[in-house]
């Protein structure tokens, strides 16, 4: 296929952006969940 | 959880079908050849990105009017999602342009206004990192978001108002423009698939913002 490398690069890089964004969302979500757990524990200890 | 799984599954089916159709259903374009198939990914991402920025604009206006946290959360979520789609537009565009135009980039109205739009929304996110106080951050970023949205119609109409290196519109482009019927159907299907993906990413990003709000509330409670 003519220009196969360009088509492949466009789709690969495009999907890499989506996956990167999705992974960053997952990472940030788990970090916030850990913070919530930690804060709830420290609040319970303080009561 | 079930709703999210269904939304994810439906989006996956739409995206895979759209990619398959753009390679195996659409006829070969006569002058450009196979490289034209990038169009279904590039233009559909551009439409989804602009819709995300419109959602941000809507959230920004409602925040200024109602001062409710949820509208600020919607605004910032939509900006991140819109930026992901616009980044794809700015990557796939030059990859298409190089074999077709012989250059990666040119500062014509469409390309420049798209790049400026991307920079404006990056600035929106940077602005938020500079302001500590939540209400002030939400208000100033909402006002900046309303200002940044002025560029979105400019991006859309640039190829209608001025002669550009970028191709003239093939959808709603007036007499003499248009797509072959199969290409048109696949294009609109790709737009639908990308909007499905946009809604999925936006709902995930919005959930993240709600969690952030929960963390802020707990911190305030711990400090009190």
CA distance A3 to chain B (A): 6
Residue B80 lies in a domain: yes
More confident residue, A7 or B178: A7
User: Which chain A residue is nearest to residue B212, measuring alpha carbons?
Assistant: A32
Report yes or no on B15 lying in a domain. Answer: no
For chain B, what is the largest distance between any 2 Cα atoms, rounded to a whole number of angstroms?
A: 69
Q: How far apart are CA B59 and CA B42, in angstroms?
A: 26
Residue B164 lies in a domain: yes
Q: Is residue B128 part of a domain?
A: yes
In a domain, B165, yes or no: yes
DSSP state of B165: S
Residue B32, in any domain of the structure: no
Binned at pLDDT 50, 70 and 90, residue A47 comes out as: low
Total domains present in chain B = 1
DSSP character at residue B30: T
Give the per-residue pLDDT at B91: 97
In a domain, B203, yes or no: yes
Is residue B18's pLDDT more than 70?
yes
Question: Looking at chain B from residue 59 to 118, which residues have their Cβ under 8 Å from any Cβ of chain A?
Answer: 80-81, 84, 87-88, 91-92, 95-96, 98-99
User: Above 70 in pLDDT, residue B155?
Assistant: yes
Distance between A25 CA and the closest CA of chain B, angstroms: 7
Chain B residue closest to A34 (CA)?
B215
| CA A47/CA B199 separation, integer angstroms | 41
Q: What one-character-per-residue DSSP string does B71-110 give?
A: HHHHHHHHHHHHHHHHHHHHHHHHHHHHHHHSSS----HH
The predicted model gives B120-143 an average pLDDT of 96
Is B204 in contact with A22 (Cβ distance < 8 A)? yes
Nearest to B52 by CA among B126, B157, B129, B145: B145
Average pLDDT value for chain B: 94
Q: pLDDT (tens digit, 9 = 90+) per residue, B161-197?
A: 988 889 888 887 777 777 889 999 999 999 999 999 9
What does pTM read for this prediction? 0.94
Rounded CA gap, B215 and A38, in Å?
Answer: 10
Facing residue for A7 by CB, picked from B38, B88, B222: B38
Range of the domain at B158: 40-223
CA-to-CA separations, B54 to A28, B49, B101, B148, B202, in angstroms, rounded: 25, 9, 31, 11, 13
The answer to whether residue B107 is domain-embedded is yes
Length of chain B measured in residues: 224
What pLDDT score was predicted for residue B168?
A: 86
Cβ pairs A/B, distance under 8 A: 83
- pLDDT at residue A2, as a whole number: 79
Q: Give yes or no for B208 touching A (CB within 8 A).
A: yes
């Amino acid at each position: 296929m003519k220009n196969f490398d360009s088509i492949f690069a466009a789709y690969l890089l495009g999907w890499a952006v989506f996956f990167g964004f999705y992974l960053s969302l997952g990472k940030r979500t788990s970090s916030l969940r850990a913070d919530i757990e930690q804060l709830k524990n420290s609040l319970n200890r303080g009561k | 959880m079930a709703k999210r799984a269904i939304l994810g599954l439906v989006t996956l089916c739409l995206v895979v079908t759209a990619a398959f159709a753009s390679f195996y259903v659409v006829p070969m374009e006569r002058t450009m050849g196979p490289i034209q198939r990038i169009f279904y990914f590039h233009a559909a991402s551009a439409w989804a990105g602009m819709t995300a920025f419109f959602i941000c604009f809507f959230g920004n206006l409602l925040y200024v009017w109602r001062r409710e946290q949820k509208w600020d959360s919607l605004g910032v979520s939509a900006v991140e999602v819109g930026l992901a789609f616009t980044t794809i537009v700015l990557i796939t565009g030059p990859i298409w342009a190089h074999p077709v135009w012989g250059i990666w980039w040119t500062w014509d109205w469409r390309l420049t206004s798209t790049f400026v739009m991307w920079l404006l929304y990056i600035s929106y996110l940077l602005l938020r990192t500079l302001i500590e106080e939540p209400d002030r951050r939400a208000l100033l970023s909402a006002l900046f978001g309303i200002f940044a949205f002025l560029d979105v119609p400019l991006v859309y109409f640039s190829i209608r108002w001025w002669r550009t290196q970028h191709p003239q519109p093939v959808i709603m482009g007036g007499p003499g423009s248009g797509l072959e019927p199969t290409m048109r159907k696949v294009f609109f299907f790709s737009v639908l698939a990308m909007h499905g993906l946009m809604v999925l990413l936006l709902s995930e990003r919005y959930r993240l913002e709600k969690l952030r709000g929960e963390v802020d509330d707990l911190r305030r409670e711990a400090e009190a």
